[in-house]
Amino acid sequence: MAALTVARRELAGYFATPVAYVFIVIFLMMAGALTFTLGGFFQRGQADLGPFFTFVPWLFLFLVPALTMRLWAEERRLGTIELLLTLPLPQWQAVVGKFLAAWAFCAIALLLTFPLVLTVNYLGNPDNGVIAAGYVGCLLVAGAYLAVGAAMSATTKNQVIAFVLAVAVCFLFAAAGSPVVTEFLSQRIPALAEVARGLSLTERFNSLTRGVIALRDVAFFATFIGFFLFVNAVVIDHRKAD
Amino acid sequence: MAALIEIERLTKRFGAFTAVDDVSFSVDRGEVVGFLGPNGAGKSTTMKMLAGFVTPSSGTARICGDDVVDRPVAAKRHLGYLPEGAPTYPEMTVTAFLGFVARIRGYRGSEAADRVAHAMGLTQLEGVRLQPIETLSKGFKRRVGLAQSLLHDPPVLVLDEPTDGLDPNQKHEVRELIRRMAPEKAIVISTHILEEVGAVCTRAIIIAGGKVLADSTPRALAPPGMSLEQVFRDLTMPKPEAA
C-alpha cells in the first residue's frame, strides 16, 4: 500500500534530521523530571505511574505540533508536494501515510519511557493493566493531537504558523473539559458546557489512566482522528497548488 | 488509435484571472512538443493540470485514454512528470529517493533496484548515488528529477523546463536522451530556449495569455529568412499602439 511507503519515507525523514533526537531527548527528560519532581513519584508512596500520565498529555500539547508542523508546510515550501501528489497514489493515502509516520514516531518515544515501568515494578507491585491502559491513552491523545497538527500544517507553507495553530487548537480540546471552562460556560451558555465536556480530550484520557478502556472513549478518539484526517485531505485537495 | 495526450478545452481561472483559456491539442506517439511562451503565459499551469496537480476550472485532459480528473491515479501511472524547478526531498540520498518513487509506482525488490539503476544510468547519476540530494549541484538535482520521471518508462512524458540550470554539455545530453526516447513516447517539454525547439522538437506550440497562438512544426513556424525568435516576439509581445 502506498500509504505505508509514504509513512516509511516520513519516518526515515525524522531520523535523517536532528528533529527525532531532539524530540526524544527533550520528551524523555521532561517526562522524567516532571514525574519525579512536580509529580512527587517517591513521596506519594504509591506503586503506579499516575504522575507520569498526568504530565504526558501536556508535554504532547507542545511537542506533538513540533512533529507535525513540517508534514505539509515543508512539502509546500520545497515544492515537493507537486511531486508527491503527481505520483500515482490516491491523495488520502498520502494523508494517512504522513499521519502514521508521526504516530509511529510518538509510539517510539513512549516506548523509550520503559525504565519508569521497570522502576515502579522494582519498587512495588503496580497494576500493570492500569499502566498499559495509560499508555494506550497516551498514544490515543498523541494521535488526536497529530491529526490536528497535520491538518493545520496543510493550511500553510510556514512551519511556525503551523506550529502555533496546532498548539492553539490542541489546547482548545485539551482544556474544553476543565472546570474553568465548563463553569464559565454553564453560567452563561449552559448548552455549550455539555458540548465542551463532550469534546474534551482530557476527560477521555483520564478515564483511560484509571485503567478503563471503554469502547466509547476509543471510538471517540478514532472519530476525532478520522475527522481531522478528513479535514486534512479536504484542505490538501483544495489548496494543493496555492 | 487515440492520441496519447488529449487536451480538451482546458481552462483554469484564478479568481478573475484566466491563466489558461480554452486550450485544446493532442500529442501522438513519436511527437516531441515544445511548449513555448513568455513567463506567466500559462505553460506551467497547463502542465500541472495535465499532471493532475491543478484541477481544471473547465475542460479536461486524457493520458492514454484515462481522464486526469475522473481517473487521476490511472492517468498518473502512464505519466512521467518533471515539475517546474525539479523538486526533490533534500535530505534523502539519490538511491533512497528513487527507491521511494519506485515503491510508490508499485515496484518491489530486485525489480525496483533494476528500475532505479536504469534511471540513474540514463541520467548519469551513478557517481552520486549515495549522496544526499541537498549536497548536489543544480545540474545533478535537475537530473535526479528527470530520473524520477523516467523510472517507470512511461509512454507519456511531461517535462517542465528539463534543461534549466544545466551546463551546455548536460543540456546536450538531455536533448540526446529525449531524442532517443522520442519514437516510443509522446513528450511535452516547456522551455525558454528557442534553439532547443529546433534541436529536439517535432512540433512547437506557442502560448501567451493562456491562449494557443501557434501550433506547427518549428520549420513551418519560421518562414524562410525569419528566426523562430522573431516569430516568437511578433506573436507574444504586446503590440505598440500605432501613433
Residues B198-243: tens digit of each pLDDT: 889 999 999 988 899 888 887 777 776 777 777 788 777 776 654 4
> Can you give the pTM of this predicted structure?
0.90
Rounded CA separation A101/A26 (Å) = 19
Neighbours of B38 (CB within 10 A): 17
What is the predicted pLDDT for the residue at B243? Answer: 44
More confident residue, B164 or A69: A69
Rounded CA separation A27/B20 (Å) = 50
Burial string for A148-161 (b: 16+ CB within 10 Å, else e) reads bbbbbbbbbbebee
Residues of chain A positioned with their CB less than 8 A from the CB of B84: 79, 82
Which residues, 6 or more positions from A187, have their beta carbon under 8 angstroms from its beta carbon?
none
What is the predicted pLDDT for the residue at B234? Answer: 79
CA atoms within 13 Å, Cβ hemisphere of A78: 19
Rounded CA separation A49/A121 (Å) = 10
Torsion of CA B70, B76, B82, B83, to 10 degrees: 30
**Interface test with chain A among B73, B93, B95, B148, by most A beta carbons within 10 Å:** B73
User: Minimal CA–CA distance to A165: which of A66, A87, A52?
Assistant: A66
Tell me which residues of chain A have a pLDDT lower than 50.
none
Question: Any CB–CB contact under 8 A between B103 and chain A?
Answer: yes
Instruction: Report the share of chain B in percent with pLDDT over 70.
Output: 96
CATH 3.40.50.300 location in chain B? 1-78+155-243
What is the predicted pLDDT for the residue at B241? Answer: 53
Query: Homologous superfamily of B1-78+155-243 in CATH?
Result: P-loop containing nucleotide triphosphate hydrolases (3.40.50.300)
Length of chain A: 242
What is the predicted pLDDT for the residue at A238? Answer: 87
What is the predicted pLDDT for the residue at A211? Answer: 80
Report angle CA A235, B141, B202 to the nearest 5 degrees: 90
> What's the gap in Å between the CA of A163 and the closest CA on chain B?
21
Give the long-range contacts of residues A215-219, CB within 8 A, separation 24 or more: A217/A140, A218/A140
Stretch B158-185: mean pLDDT, rounded? 90
Neighbours of A50 (CB within 10 A): 18
- Are A86 and B105 in contact (CB < 8 Å)? no
User: Minimal CA–CA distance to A235: which of A92, A101, A98, A67?
Assistant: A92
Which residues, 6 or more positions from B182, have their beta carbon under 8 angstroms from its beta carbon?
B30, B31, B32, B200, B202
What is the predicted pLDDT for the residue at B220? Answer: 78
- Tell me the per-residue pLDDT of B1-31, one tens digit each, with 9 for 90 and over: 578 999 999 999 988 899 999 999 999 999 9
User: Minimal CA–CA distance to A121: which of A67, A14, A47?
Assistant: A47
What is the predicted pLDDT for the residue at B50? Answer: 93
- Tell me the per-residue pLDDT of A175-198, one tens digit each, with 9 for 90 and over: 887 777 878 887 888 777 777 878
- Are A88 and B148 in contact (CB < 8 Å)? no
Burial string for B78-102 (b: 16+ CB within 10 Å, else e) reads bbbbbbbbbbbbbebbbbbbbbbbb
Q: How far apart are the first and last CA of chain B?
A: 52
Place of cell 546536450: B172
Residues of chain B positioned with their CB less than 8 A from the CB of A241: 48, 53-54
- Are B96 and A12 in contact (CB < 8 Å)? yes
- Are B73 and A89 in contact (CB < 8 Å)? yes
Could you give the residue ranges of the DSSP H alpha helices within B6-161? 43-50, 72-77, 94-104, 109-122, 138-150
**Interface pTM (ipTM) of the complex?**
0.90
A239, closest residue in chain B (CA to CA) = B54
Neighbours of B25 (CB within 10 A): 20
What is the predicted pLDDT for the residue at B239? Answer: 62
What is the predicted pLDDT for the residue at A224? Answer: 94
Instruction: Report the share of chain B in percent with pLDDT over 90.
Output: 66
